[in-house]
């Protein structure tokens, strides 16, 4: 190949090098086919133990990523043409070069081209524009058990699919706002369980928003943590770490940007909030589950004739619990919003608390909290965990 084509090829491959660095966790492989007349000479590039390997003419060598372009171009000098195919999850880039021209094109994966219109799969799937799309996210959805081998959402997983997608929708604005000032994000999932949310958020941030991220999942169950590790390995998600630990016992020197928790029971939600507060985490997203602590403590004489009915007392306790959490966070300088996460027809545990640290502590909110605490006769765990004064 002539010098002009080699220079242009080198320019294209320099861009591929940077893409490989940025998307290292989602890189699959790279094939190079050199041609001389009718003869073809294949080469392959792949990952092996966090290193880049290249095989050509029966020889395998370890190469630095920033030497990849120079290596491929050096070999191309001795051939008439070359076809390079770079593959990562969801995208394939093809470069074709000869003495006349060098051209590059990007191809979406087969799954993206054949994306299924999810609202036609089943009546339970809405016709809204999903954030985690069937077709584009098939590999992820199959691995976490939501998508069947027929390419459709499993009937018994439709509700779960809607829930995780709506979770992404509700925090999308928080993520985009965060990335206006930051290059990457580290998210801690407290009581991660099977880690549906963690895997989905990882996919969304890396493959939709195209931003670097890191995830840490915590759970006291060794079984679910091992399962999460296997899924991460199968998906090639090397930016994820899972630990068997109680939330209260977790310690880290690593900077955490967001703490999430989905349906952590009773005071486990308070433990997740406290972990965020005590580690100076700027944002948190909590979807509480059962709320037993305040139910056993509170009383309010003006409402005695109402809360004498057990179900009404329990529902009031739920409202008080989440309201107190919000008030404490406001006292600490967080901007708090509480929204409906999913329809109450699916579960009564359907509120989402979103909080972002935006200002100095608010003495007015703290005074209001102390007043309510005395009025209701309660002693919330959250106050004890964050050493509120």
pLDDT band at 343 (very low <50, low <70, confident <90, very high): low
365 and 239 within one domain: yes
Confidence (pTM):
0.76
Look at 28-37, 225-234, 336-345, 350-359 and tell me which has the smallest mean pLDDT. Answer: 336-345
Write out the residue range of the structural domain in which residue 48 sits: 3-108
Domain count, the chain: 2
Give the CATH number of the domain where residue 333 resides.
3.40.50.150
* Model confidence band, residue 109 (pLDDT cutoffs 50, 70, 90): low
Shared domain for 199 and 265, answered yes or no, is yes
Q: How confident is the model at residue 226 (pLDDT cuts 50, 70, 90)?
A: very high
Query: In this structure, are 168 and 283 located in the same domain?
Result: yes
Residue at 215 is within a domain: yes
pLDDT number for residue 349 = 66
91 shares a domain with 20: yes
Residue 130 lies in a domain: no
Retrieve residue 111's tokens.
Answer: 């799954």
User: Above 80 in pLDDT, residue 83?
Assistant: yes
Instruction: With cut-offs at 50, 70 and 90, classify the pLDDT of residue 348.
Output: low
Q: At a CB cut-off of 8 Å and minimum separation 6, what does 205 contact?
A: 175, 185, 211, 213
Verify that 47 and 165 share a domain, yes or no: no
If asked whether residues 186 and 285 sit together in one domain, one would say: yes
Task: Considering only residues 345 and 243, tell me which one the structure prediction assigns the higher pLDDT.
Answer: 243
- Within a domain: 217: yes
**Same domain, yes or no: 87 and 191:** no
* pLDDT, tens digit, 9 for 90 and up, residues 115-127: 444 434 444 455 5
Instruction: From 108, 123, 148, give the residue that closes a domain.
Output: 108
Residue 118 within a domain: no
**171 and 64 in a common domain:** no
Residue 344 confidence class, pLDDT cut points 50, 70, 90: low
- Identify whether 260 is part of a domain: yes
Q: Are residues 281 and 166 in the same domain?
A: yes
- 102 belongs to a structural domain: yes
**274 plus 335 within the same structural domain:** yes
Report whether pLDDT(190) > 90: yes
**Is the same domain home to 212 and 70?**
no
- Among the candidates 108, 135, 169, a domain finishes at 108
Q: Does residue 225 belong to any structural domain of this protein?
A: yes
Q: Residue 326: its pLDDT value, please? A: 95
Residue where a domain stops, chosen among 64, 85, 108? 108
Asked if 103 and 188 sit in the same domain, the reply is no
Domain annotation covers residue 146: no
pLDDT at 178 over 90: yes
């Amino acid at each position: 190949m002539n010098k002009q084509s080699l220079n242009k090829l080198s320019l294209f491959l320099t861009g591929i090098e940077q893409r490989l660095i940025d998307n290292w966790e989602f890189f699959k492989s790279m094939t190079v086919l050199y041609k001389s007349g009718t003869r073809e000479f294949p080469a392959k590039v792949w990952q092996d133990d966090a290193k880049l390997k290249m095989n050509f003419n029966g020889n395998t060598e370890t190469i630095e990523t920033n030497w990849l372009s120079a290596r491929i171009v050096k070999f191309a000098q001795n051939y008439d043409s070359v076809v390079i195919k770079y593959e990562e999850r969801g995208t394939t880039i093809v470069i074709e070069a000869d003495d006349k021209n060098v051209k590059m094109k990007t191809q979406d994966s087969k799954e993206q081209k054949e994306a299924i219109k999810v609202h036609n799969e089943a009546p339970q799937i809405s016709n809204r524009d999903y954030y985690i799309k069937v077709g584009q996210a098939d590999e992820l959805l199959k691995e976490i058990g939501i998508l069947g081998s027929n390419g459709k959402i499993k009937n018994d997983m439709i509700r779960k699919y809607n829930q995780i997608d709506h979770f992404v929708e509700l925090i999308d604005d928080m993520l985009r706002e965060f990335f206006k000032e930051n290059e990457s994000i580290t998210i801690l999932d407290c009581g991660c369980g099977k880690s549906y949310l963690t895997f989905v958020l990882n996919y969304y941030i890396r493959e939709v928003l195209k931003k670097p991220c890191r995830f840490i999942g915590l759970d006291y169950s060794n079984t679910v943590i091992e399962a999460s590790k296997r899924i991460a390995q199968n998906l090639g998600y090397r930016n994820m770490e899972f630990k068997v630990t109680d939330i209260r016992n977790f310690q880290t020197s690593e900077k955490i940007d967001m703490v999430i928790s989905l349906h952590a029971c009773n005071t486990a939600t308070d433990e997740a909030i406290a972990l965020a507060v005590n580690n100076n985490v700027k944002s948190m997203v909590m979807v509480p589950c059962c709320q037993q602590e305040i139910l056993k403590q509170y009383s309010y004489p003006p409402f005695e004739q109402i809360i004498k009915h057990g179900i009404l007392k329990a529902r009031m306790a739920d409202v008080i619990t989440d309201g107190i959490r919000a008030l404490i966070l406001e006292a600490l300088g967080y901007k708090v919003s509480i929204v409906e996460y999913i329809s109450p027809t699916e579960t009564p545990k359907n509120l989402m608390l979103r909080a972002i640290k935006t200002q100095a502590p608010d003495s007015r909110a703290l005074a209001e909290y102390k007043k309510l605490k005395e009025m209701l006769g309660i002693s919330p765990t959250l106050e004890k965990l964050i050493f509120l004064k």
